[in-house]
């Protein structure tokens, strides 16, 4: 691996697995590239929500709109430039507001391998 | 660890080690918290630059301004919403443009432990 610039145009968006909301994510860097982390972008339609038990550490930075995450720790809403840190093992609900949302994410380790494993 | 919102107001900025440019970073999540990744924010003064050999995988997302990273792989300039992925072992020069820059970063593993180790 070498130093690489990543933009949202590099993301091949696809529906998030296990749900039928209008929520898509596109990995740009993942297990195919040999490093320890997955890097990608996410898109949430207006008022769309997903419930998840996450099997990796997931760091989500909001680029546009607002994201609300509810978990045992309470409910947090984040906007542009803010981050939601979701440690491995968290059970949570991730939802966008009326304007939808665009996010960037980093997971350690690779979330697709954790789901398959 | 529980789900947590992180904002730039949570970052206690300090000068980046080993350099005397106007470049500061502030970890919010790191080895003190027991997880695998460090999360924080960076601030670069106008036209400031740092040369580094990085010992961790470092994912930098630009929030304001522009960052140019030069390495063996060439030179990349990124702006708001774009990411520079710097794999472990990269030798590089990171510089801000005339308007300075604000960034968010995630490193795996913890960069402060890698420097001390």
* Inter-chain CB pairs, A–B, below 8 Å: 118
Q: Which residue has the tokens 């300090």?
A: B14
Q: How far is residue B24's CA from residue A8's CA, in Å, rounded to a whole number?
A: 27
Residue B38's contacts (CB-CB under 8 Å, 6 or more residues apart) are B27, B29, B30, B31, B56, B105, B106, B107, B108, B109, B110, B111, B112
B-chain CB neighbours of A36 within 8 Å are 57, 108
Tokens linked to A62: 């909001």
- Model confidence pLDDT, tens digit, residues B31-50: 999 999 999 999 999 999 99
Tokens linked to A59: 């760091």
CB nearest to A83's CB, from B39, B57, B84:
B39
Cβ of A81 under 8 Å from any chain B Cβ? Answer: yes
CB nearest to B82's CB, from A5, A83, A86:
A5
Return the SS3 of B1: coil
Model confidence at B115, in pLDDT bands (50, 70, 90)? confident
Strand ranges (E), chain A: 4-6, 14-15, 23-29, 38-44, 49-53, 57-71, 74-78, 83-86, 91-108
Q: Burial level of A104, CB count in 10 A (0-12/13-18/19+)?
A: buried
Beta bridge partners of A91: A53
- Model confidence pLDDT, tens digit, residues A8-60: 999 999 998 877 899 999 999 999 999 999 999 999 999 999 999 999 999 99
Q: Which residue has the tokens 């001390």?
A: B116
Cβ of A76 under 8 Å from any chain B Cβ? Answer: yes
Quote ipTM for the complex: 0.95
């Amino acid at each position: 691996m070498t130093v690489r610039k990543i933009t949202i145009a590099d993301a091949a968006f696809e529906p998030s697995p296990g749900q039928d909301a209008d929520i898509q994510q596109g990995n740009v860097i993942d297990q195919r590239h040999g490093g320890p982390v997955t890097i990608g972008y996410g898109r949430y339609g207006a008022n769309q929500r997903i419930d998840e038990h996450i099997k990796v550490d997931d760091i989500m930075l909001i680029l546009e709109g607002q994201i609300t995450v509810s978990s045992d720790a309470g409910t947090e809403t984040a906007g542009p430039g803010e981050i939601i840190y979701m440690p491995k093992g968290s059970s949570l609900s991730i939802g966008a507001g009326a304007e939808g949302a665009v996010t960037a994410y980093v997971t350690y380790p690779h979330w697709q391998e954790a789901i398959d494993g």
